Structure 1
């Protein structure tokens, strides 16, 4: 196709921009609770998350991307016009990048996955009409605005109540920390291990199957419980003040780091997937349902995510970590655990969820454990507003960009 060089170079530029925006906005999913609970500083969070998301993207990220992400539009609409695939991917990256940047500037957490999906939806409508869009899939995405935060909020509420009833409200809270803590560590490690293995690029590489993943995760869980018992006893012997919170501070840093690593592995495709499609179509003249993603492209996306975290990640972290409700280390641990559990359970059940929505929902649920007065309702309503307008905003923007580009180049 004509102007291939323009779209190839432009695609890489926009892919890097999308990765940068993804890092800047989505870092709050993993690090906001740890910063809000003052387990680590914002600078430490951005440095740690920058490294771990890069490692996750490069070494655990998927090497194959779906041509039409999440099956949101019919592939048949583009089969006869491969140039539309290139322009559509370019337009989707442009629209999604702009929207995530606007949301980050406003310090609002939004879903990068939903941004890309909404942009592709707009491309499908403008290229092939409303019949091109799989509206059932769109309905599932809309339902995730309710499923993700509600389910994660409920789990966060339950986990924190368990910690409060079994440890914080007990007279011998130090002794109960020694007894209950190892079980919480084991459960957290089980959830995290399953999150890395079940229906993930790493799990597919290992080819373990559901029961194989369960067996590996259970083994790691038992070993972690034993190690956790030893470490907690050692920490308690070293800590003099705020013993429980200090123990959970160490546990929370661990869970936040795991979430950051997983995030890099699972979200890098939102940035480099469309770039891989552009390159593949320009190179071959056509495209299948899946497109290979080279390790270099994963590293390219991982670098963009890391730079986004380091340079701009502080904005959304401040909103999720400080503005919704007051966080402590026990609450922060509950947030990480409930968000990870929500994503895992929903993935197994085939339900659509957003990591961003799950993380924010967990923060709200933890806040509500102390009553409605413990959460900032105005901030919550503002966040929900941004969630609601994400799909239509990026869809309309991508439609406009696609129309302009096809008028110029086709």
Structure 2
């Protein structure tokens, strides 16, 4: 199919949004992994990239409803929703906003930027109509509620992890006691051994006749890494359809190819440009221990996957930061100044993207 100039530009800008999304968002699942020094930055980055791409592929089956949501359907009049002129304005606003935030190491929401772009482009149309009720119900409410829920659940997880009785008890052993001879009605009988679990420090475990012995810290590290991968997978599921809506409007690629292109650009963006945002989330919000990180990641993955299944456009950024902040608040290690800067960047994301998209509407209309 021969592309028009407008479709070609929309294709390029949509891929730029995917690149920026990867740069700003890919590492967020592994922020607690690097922050707790479970893995090096490079190893964590590669695992985050692989999990994100896997989530992008899975979005074909798990989150198709989000493609329609981010075409603008229901938010603006049908004549605008899904049109290349409209979505190009949306994409430019989102791309510039995400690029600026990533440059300054601020973990913002691609979802928030896209919503701002939808609102600004809608207001910039000739009729200037935006349906505010669907905006609040389908977009704003999930974005406001999700970080609060994540912080609450993160605080609960933080308190639960603090209840571990002995941080030095790093060895879990299944001990098989020796059979004992007992008498029952004067007749000797052999009592079967009853295995039991012992959690102690490694020195104490050395003196036990253990049938099975595992390291608690290593098991937690593996679970922590798995939880981080699940967040990146969930983010890929939730974000890819939003960006695929832009590509589909360009009439250049089919649905499957659009998803593959978005996943590839998200991966490249993360590999090349994720470092600054990674440092903010891993090092500045709060200090993170192994158990804390596992709790925060579990909360984030659970909420994002649940929202994706319901077609709710929550922000992985908001949920992840909310969970980490809840953990920090529970442990008394939260850096409120760093959190304030992040929240302020969230507040600025939507109006900035809206303003850019609004200004782009007449520019695009005059040239195409």
TM-score interval (norm. to shorter): 0.7 to 0.9
Match of 1:121?
119
Residues 80-119 of structure 1: pairs in structure 2 closer than 5 A: 85-119=83-117
Change (3 A) 1:105 1:349: same
Q: 2:346 aligned with 1:383, yes or no?
A: no
From 263, 274, 292, the equivalent of 1:302 is: 263
Q: CA deviation at 1:43?
A: 0.9
Give a deviation string over 1:261-289, Cα, whole Å, max 9, x none.
22222211222211101217xxxxxxxxx
Paired position in structure 1 for 2:234: 262
Aligned residue number for residue 209 of structure 1? none
Distance in 2 separating the partners of 1:313 and 1:367: 23
The match for 1:336 is 297
Aligned length: 329
Per-residue CA deviations over 1:1-27 (Å, capped at 9, x if unaligned) read xx9621222122112111111111112
> How far did residue 72 of structure 1 move?
5.7
- 8 Å Cα contact 2:142-2:314 kept in structure 1: yes
Of Structure 1 and Structure 2, which has the larger fraction of its residues in helix? 1
- Quote how far apart the aligned CAs of 1:388 are: 0.7
- The residue that corresponds to 2:282 in the other structure is 321
> Structure 1 CA distance, aligned partners of 2:310 and 2:237?
21
2:80 aligned counterpart, secondary structure: helix
Secondary structure (helix, strand or coil) at the match of 2:287 reads: coil
Give the CA deviation at 1:310. 0.4
Aligned to 1:74: 76
Residue aligned with 1:78, SS: coil
Q: How far off its partner does 1:237 sit?
A: 3.4
* CA 54–395 in structure 1, closer or farther in 2 if over 3 Å, else same: same
Q: Secondary structure at the match of 1:237?
A: strand
Q: CA deviation at 1:316?
A: 0.9
Cα RMSD (Å)? 2.9
TM-score, normalized by length of structure 1?
Answer: 0.72
Displacement of 1:322? 0.7
1:249 to 221, 224, 227: 221
Q: Which residue of 1 aligns with 2:158?
A: 160
Which structure 1 residue ranges, 5 or more long, are not aligned?
180-232, 281-291
Greater strand share, structure number: 2
The structure number with the bigger radius of gyration is 2
